[in-house]
């Protein structure tokens, strides 16, 4: 159990990249969400909300500036990639002594109510990560077919390393910075970041909790340059991790144990 007398320090990071089609909706939702954060601050939480923009070339920042103060928006001078932007958020969290980092995708596929639920789970639980997996009960009719296939394939394939997230491609997460900060540097900077985290969190036996969270693909926007090529890259990455890296790690672990027994 966590000490309820101590404020739980959480950095809420909104990740954006060319989200102009959703920026106005995001601004309206942020206005309501920030009011809800005020209530959370009275429940033993210390929270700060920041926007980490991955060098958008459209008017994303201009629109968000109507709701978010300029000193709370951090725009990269060059494109870091999705994973690189997560790492940048981690760096800010580490530098400013935050205990947890909550990632919210700026494309509005996810819901702020689920983000609140995610944060509240910290009150009585010491999780290393909390994952908002795509709910099994939602209507997937608007999900692009390639996304359906990708989620089904990787959810089953990741069982080879005993994935605890139950949604290895989910970017909607809350991380305990102290226990995850070493793992995230092992993850790639592009869209395969979450698959990598699924693998390394399992290898490190982190305490990962997942819950059903809503997701919407209405008017879906994606910053992926090519969904097919991205999917192919993830498949190759999976086989590298599951078929080569995992067995090598197990062999190394067994060898280390044998050496220590001598």
Number of structural domains (the chain) is: 1
pLDDT tens digit string along 207-250?
999 999 988 876 555 555 556 677 778 888 888 888 888 888 87
Which of the two residues, 64 and 147, has the higher pLDDT score?
Answer: 64
User: Looking at the domain assignment, is residue 95 inside a domain?
Assistant: yes
Is residue 49 in some structural domain? yes
Two tokens, residue 239: 């086989």
The residue range of the domain holding 156 is 8-226
CA-closest candidate to residue 174, choices 146, 204, 228, 210: 210
pLDDT of residue 3: 47
Burial of residue 245 (CB within 10 Å: 0-12, 13-18, 19+) is middle
* pLDDT, tens digit (0-9, with 9 covering 90-100), for 164-205: 888 898 999 999 999 999 999 999 999 899 999 999 999 999
- What is the spatial distance between Cα 49 and Cα 69, in angstroms, rounded to a whole number? 10
* Structural domain contains residue 233: no
Contact 50, 11 (CB under 8 A): yes
Specify the CATH number for the domain of residue 129.
Answer: 3.90.550.10
pLDDT of residue 152: 75
Contact predicate 246/204, CB 8 Å: no
176, two tokens = 């305990």
Q: Are 123 and 43 in contact (CB under 8 A)?
A: yes
- pLDDT of residue 89 exceeding 90, the answer is yes
Question: What is this structure's pTM?
Answer: 0.87
Task: Classify residue 256: in a domain, yes or no.
Answer: no
Q: Does the pLDDT at position 99 exceed 90?
A: yes
Question: Residue 7: pLDDT above 50?
Answer: yes
Of 112, 24, 21, 14, nearest to 64 (Cα)? 24
Residue 98 lies in a domain: yes
User: Is 238 within the bounds of a domain?
Assistant: no
Position 179 in a domain = yes
**Choice among 41-45, 79-83, 132-136, 205-209 with the minimum mean pLDDT:** 132-136
More confident residue, 254 or 10: 10
Going by the DSSP 8-state scheme, the letter that residue 85 receives in this structure is H
Establish if 248 belongs to a structural domain. Answer: no
């Amino acid at each position: 159990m966590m000490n309820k007398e101590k404020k739980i320090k959480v950095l809420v990071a909104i990740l954006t990249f060319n989200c102009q089609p959703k920026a106005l909706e995001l601004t309206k939702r942020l206005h309501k969400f920030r009011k809800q954060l005020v209530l959370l601050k009275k429940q033993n939480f210390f929270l700060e909300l920041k926007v980490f923009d991955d060098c958008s070339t459209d008017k994303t920042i201009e629109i968000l500036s109507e709701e978010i103060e300029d000193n709370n928006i951090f725009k990269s001078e060059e494109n870091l990639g999705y994973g690189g932007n997560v790492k940048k958020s981690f760096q800010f969290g580490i530098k400013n002594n935050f205990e947890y980092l909550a990632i919210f995708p700026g494309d509005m596929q996810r819901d702020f109510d689920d983000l609140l639920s995610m944060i509240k789970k910290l009150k009585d639980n010491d999780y290393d990560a909390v994952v908002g997996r795509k709910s099994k009960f939602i209507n997937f009719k608007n999900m692009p077919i390639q996304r359906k296939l990708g989620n089904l394939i990787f959810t089953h394939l990741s069982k080879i390393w005993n994935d605890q997230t139950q949604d290895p491609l989910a970017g909607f997460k809350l991380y305990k910075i102290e226990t995850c900060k070493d793992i995230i540097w092992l993850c790639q900077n592009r869209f395969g970041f979450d698959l990598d985290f699924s693998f390394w969190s399992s290898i490190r036996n982190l305490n990962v909790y997942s819950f059903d969270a809503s997701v919407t693909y209405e008017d879906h926007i994606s910053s992926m340059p090519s969904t097919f090529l991205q999917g192919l890259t993830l498949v190759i990455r999976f086989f590298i991790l599951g078929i080569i890296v995992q067995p090598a790690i197990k062999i190394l672990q067994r060898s280390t144990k044998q050496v220590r027994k001598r």
